[in-house]
């Protein structure tokens, strides 16, 4: 069963705006990031399959960590996320990222952020 990932999620009081970014690994050194100030959860545009799902799971843990003010190591967050992903996979649940868009330019990103901050 496929579960569509929406462009915006909320865990507790913490919103996350999910997007792809080209060259994230080259520019930032990560396959995914969560910006606590802007609420952007960004995934490497070229990342797909299990790597994308694991990265998404880790970044969801970042959102949970932020919302619940947790003190937890990066490796532990990845391990917890990977455990949940294995469980979901055994249930036949797959993520569908069809709605997630690529943010291609800094100018476009600033425009999107301005709209969000004025909501």
Burial classification of residue 88, based on how many CB atoms lie within 10 Å of its CB (0-12 exposed, 13-18 middle, 19 or more buried): middle
The residue behind tokens 């709605």 is 99
pLDDT at 35 over 80: yes
Domain with 80 in it:
2-117
Highest mean pLDDT among 18-27, 77-86, 98-107: 77-86
Percent of the chain with pLDDT over 90: 78
Residues above pLDDT 70, as percent of the chain = 92
Count of H-run helices and E-run strands, the chain: 4, 6
Residue 106, pLDDT above cutoff 70:
no
Number of domain units in the chain: 1
* Predicted structure pTM score: 0.85
C-alpha to C-alpha distance for 33 and 63, rounded to whole angstroms: 10
């Amino acid at each position: 069963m496929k579960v569509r990932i929406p462009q915006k999620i909320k865990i507790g009081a913490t919103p996350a705006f999910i997007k792809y970014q080209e060259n994230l690994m080259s520019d930032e050194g990560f396959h995914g990031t969560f910006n606590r100030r802007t609420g952007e959860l960004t995934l490497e545009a070229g990342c797909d399959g299990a790597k994308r799902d694991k990265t998404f799971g880790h970044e969801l843990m970042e959102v949970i960590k932020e919302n619940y003010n947790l003190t937890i190591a990066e490796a532990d967050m990845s391990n917890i996320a990977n455990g949940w992903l294995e469980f979901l996979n055994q249930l036949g649940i797959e993520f569908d990222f069809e709605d997630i868009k690529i943010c291609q330019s800094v100018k476009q990103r600033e425009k999107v952020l301005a709209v969000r901050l004025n909501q």
